[in-house]
Copies of this chain bind each other. A is one copy, B any other.
Amino acid sequence: MGLLHKLIKLDKALMLLHRALRPIKDFEEIEIRKTLGRILAEDIISSIDIPPFDRAAMDGYAVRAEDTYGAELENPKILRVIGVSEIGDPFRGKVSAGEAVYVHTGSRIPEGANAVIPIEYVEAIGDKILVRKTVAPGENISKRGEDVEKGTRILEKGQIISPADIAMMKAIGIRKVRVVRKPKIAVMACGSELVDNIEELSPGKILEYSREIVIGYANKLGAETIDLGIVPDDESEILNRIQQVREKVDLLVTVGGTSVGKHDLIPHIIRKYGELFFHGVSVEPGKPICAGKMDELPILGFPGLPVATFVATFTILIRALERLTGVRGRYAHRTVRAILRRKIWSKPGVRTYVRVRLTRENDRVYAEPIMISGSGILSSVVMSDGIVVVPEELEGVEEGREVEVIVIRDDIPF
């Protein structure tokens, strides 16, 4: 094409963006049960030991390990049962030589005992037990602090909170925790030809739907979205709209108005009133992506053709949200390895995103490229299960090759 300003590689674009976006410093303090999927804004350090005391790891008898030494199937040791340590009612006495206390899994190990003989290795006769197996000191006991030792950092700032993390926080007595404030993303579609309802269509008008992809992904990844609707190709109207949200959001994403043509105002406006970081990324589809800032508001300008919007969202927005939230790792999609059913074509120097449908035959997974091309064909995304990324240095991928497919559906048809 040659008309876009110099195309930059995706990695470069992400680096520039990374530098320009500042991680959100605000936090909310909320009840742990409401933190699922949120991002920790503090390290979590345990102020207690778990378990708080030595406890039985199995049903059986708490004993002094040395009393079992020499016990064999045919030659049992005999111990005297002096009590029971109930879970809700621990035995308060002491276990001395030749004695045993019945324990349930989880109940407190009485003083003097240092091991538990599982119930199946013991024969009870009145208040005596025949022990047919030796146990080592510590065997079948959960030691105090074995799960969590006081002072241990159990969760790290920047982690996405999982169900098990919530349980762990409850276990150490935490009720509320600081999480990163949700990123606020404003989304605006640009184009005088666009309408928002199918009933408003008239000759030459086009229904806008690409911004739903941006809004959907932002919501899915835990952002709050503000939908600014459709703005005509008019500099002052666009500036107005930007002004309205400037101090309310962490990021503005525009959809449309970035490819080369008369109405492509977004990169023009950013350059005129702010700083344009780049315009044009060597990805296909999605090339006319731009980014910049105006008055400290970061702006991503995404192309309006829906497949291009999708690729821009997938490659840029997700990474921007990671940066804003300071998430420890990455928001990663599931991947599967699959055998390519047909040759993929791509231009060297351009990172190409090919939509594929996954099928399974005789335990092998195949990726069938959806051949309909064109950035306007949203059905090519909807019909697909995943994406194969062809890196810049390759010129297509041959049929029959194994490829990594990034799965874009939460269910998969096999």
Interface residues of A (CB under 8 A from B): 1-3, 32-33, 36-37, 50-52, 57, 59, 86-90, 104-108, 119-120, 142, 146-148, 152, 154-155, 158-160, 162-168, 170-171, 173, 191-193, 198, 201, 203-207, 209-210, 212-217, 219-220, 259-263, 305-306, 310, 313, 327-336, 372, 374, 376-379, 381-383, 407-414
Contacts and interface: CB of A to CB of B under 8 A. Distances in A.
Contact of A163 (B213, B336, B374): B213
Given A167-B213, A173-B198, A412-B332, A147 B193 contact: no
Contacts of A89: 204
Nearest to A91: B204
Nearest to A162: B409
Given A57-B376, A168-B379, A163 B216 contact: yes
A314 to B, nearest CB: 10
B204 A107 contact: yes
Contacts of A332: 334, 407, 410-412
Given A212-B170, A382-B154, A219 B36 contact: yes
16 contacts: A36-B220, A52-B201, A106-B305, A142-B376, A142-B377, A147-B379, A162-B408, A163-B213, A163-B313, A164-B381, A164-B408, A167-B378, A171-B207, A328-B411, A332-B411, A332-B412
A171 B209 contact: yes
B310 A164 contact: yes
B147 A376 contact: yes
A328 B413 contact: yes
Contact of A331 (B146, B204, B210, B410): B410
Given A142-B374, A191-B87, A329-B409, A261 B105 contact: yes
Copies in the complex: 2
A51 B369 CA distance: 22
Contact of A37 (B107, B119, B336, B410): B410
Q: Which 3 A-B pairs have the closest CB atoms?
A: A163-B216, A329-B411, A173-B198
B36 A171 contact: no
A204 to B, nearest CB: 5
A376 B2 contact: no
Which secondary structure dominates chain A's binding surface?
loop
Contact of A261 (B52, B59, B192, B193): B59
Nearest to A322: B411
A217 B213 CA distance: 26
Contacts of A165: 382
A33 B377 contact: no
B164 A213 contact: yes
A413 B147 contact: no
Contacts of A328: 411, 413
Nearest to A57: B374
A377 B51 CA distance: 9
A163 B193 contact: no
A162 B330 contact: no
Contacts of A219: 36
Contacts of A261: 59, 104-105
B87 A410 contact: no
A192 to B, nearest CB: 5
Contacts of A168: 209, 378-379, 381-382
A166 B210 CA distance: 9
Q: By CB atoms of chain B within 10 A, which of A105, A146, A212, A332 has the most?
A: A212
A160 B411 contact: yes
Given A163-B216, A173-B198, A412-B332, A193 B88 contact: yes
Q: By CB atoms of chain B within 10 A, which of A152, A219, A333 has the most?
A: A219
Contacts of A331: 410-411
Contacts of A409: 159-160, 162, 329
A4 to B, nearest CB: 12
A204 B90 contact: yes
A289 B331 CA distance: 33
